[in-house]
Amino acid sequence: MFSKLPSYSVASWATHYVSMGYELSDQSERAPLESFLTSLHHGGMRVRCFAVFLLLSSLAFADIVEDVRTALVQRNFAAADSALQAYRLQHGVDPAYLEALSWTAREALAANQLDKADAAAKQTETLARQLLQKRSLDAEPHLPVALGAAFEVQAQVLAAHGQNAQAATLLRHALVTYGSTSIGPRLHKNLNVLTLTSQPAPALATSEYLGSRPTPLSELRGSPVLLFFWAHWCVDCKYEGPIISRLSSEFAPKGLTVLAPTQLYGYAAKGEDAKPKDEIAYIGQVWQHYYSGLQSVPVPISKTNFTNYGASTTPTLVLVDRKGRVALYHPGLMEYDDLRAAIEKTLSN
């Protein structure tokens, strides 16, 4: 029966995963799935068939994630806890259970229930480490999402209590162990949120690019710089683009420089696997079509830039002041008024 399985690209499987009802809100969430699917794609037939079986089994049992998230959208923590308890009695602790549990931590944090968030995050981490004694982190997509969220929530709870140093230490320790896994970028992002502001902006790799050659940050001292980290698949980036374009036109006469770093993801149009040169061509098409107001902005292409800036969320917006220090580090969308205020503040300093 396995010989009749269809051949899907990495991104096509990711699209299928979304179609089953599971959100991949940013690269932090996409990375674990894509890491697993890449290993599937490059394995032999027997390995690939077994991996497909594991993935489909994972999806079948992942209804607990949807059930818990549905309850949490309504802030019904009791219903979420009840669903988790019932699932654990029937299936035990598995990766899907832990991802669902991690969502209770995230939603409790959003509701400012810090003790509940911390307890759920710590329980997720403890149980995940127990599973990791017999499996690798990226063997399937649920466990890395759960563990990444566990570290993220614990760090944010510490920060909410004013314990930024302890939060940074927690993330650095996690990076020592998991920095080379799919959750590495997520850990870097959270560490940068805590520590990157007021620090020297990391240099950008600029050997590969679209448009005009990017000027190194070291040569832009004296001028504020806005970095717009984006991805060709990113819907939120397309929303942010016109905002960046408007602000660029408004503040360029006052010295603002805009750079738009991106990276390769291994696929292009319709989620089809792509060689680097083909994906670069596709990135150029997306940039020209959706970002018409930013055609004069250089586009460095490098995974290193995303790693150094922890840009696992796209868009990620970084403002660099006249002295080359990070004045703003913001994963996610920013509305026009908020970003404009941040630029004005940076220009005035």
Q: Is the Cβ–Cβ distance between 302 and 216 less than 8 Å?
A: no
Q: Is the Cβ–Cβ distance between 329 and 197 less than 8 Å?
A: yes
Structure tokens at 120: 């759920």
Tell me the pLDDT band of 15, cut-offs 50, 70 and 90.
Answer: very low
The better pLDDT of the pair 233, 39 is held by: 233
Tell me the pLDDT band of 30, cut-offs 50, 70 and 90.
Answer: low
Tell me the pLDDT band of 34, cut-offs 50, 70 and 90.
Answer: low
Phi/psi of residue 316, nearest 5 degrees: -120, 130
The predicted-structure confidence for 254-286, as pLDDT tens digits, reads as follows 999 999 999 999 999 988 999 999 999 999 999
The predicted-structure confidence for 146-173, as pLDDT tens digits, reads as follows 999 999 999 999 999 999 999 999 999 9
- Tell me the angle at which helices 77-91 and 95-110 cross, rounded to the nearest 10 degrees: 170
Comma-separated ranges of CATH 3.40.30.10 domains in the chain: 209-348
| CATH class label, 209-348 | alpha beta
If you average pLDDT over every residue of the chain, what do you get?
Answer: 87
Amino acid identity at 116:
K
Fold of the CATH domain 2-195: 1.25.40
pLDDT at position 263 is: 97
Q: Does the structure show a pLDDT above 50 at 3?
A: no
How many other C-beta atoms can be found within 10 angstroms of the C-beta atom of residue 335?
10
Tell me the pLDDT band of 349, cut-offs 50, 70 and 90.
Answer: confident
The pTM (predicted TM-score) of the whole model is 0.76
The predicted-structure confidence for 313-329, as pLDDT tens digits, reads as follows 999 999 999 999 999 99
Q: Does the structure show a pLDDT above 70 at 43?
A: no
The better pLDDT of the pair 266, 26 is held by: 266
Mean pLDDT on 89-99: 97
Bond before 315 cis per omega within 30 degrees: yes
Comma-separated ranges of CATH 1.25.40.10 domains in the chain: 2-195
Structure tokens at 238: 């397309």
Phi/psi of residue 180, nearest 5 degrees: -95, 5
Q: Does the structure show a pLDDT above 90 at 127?
A: yes
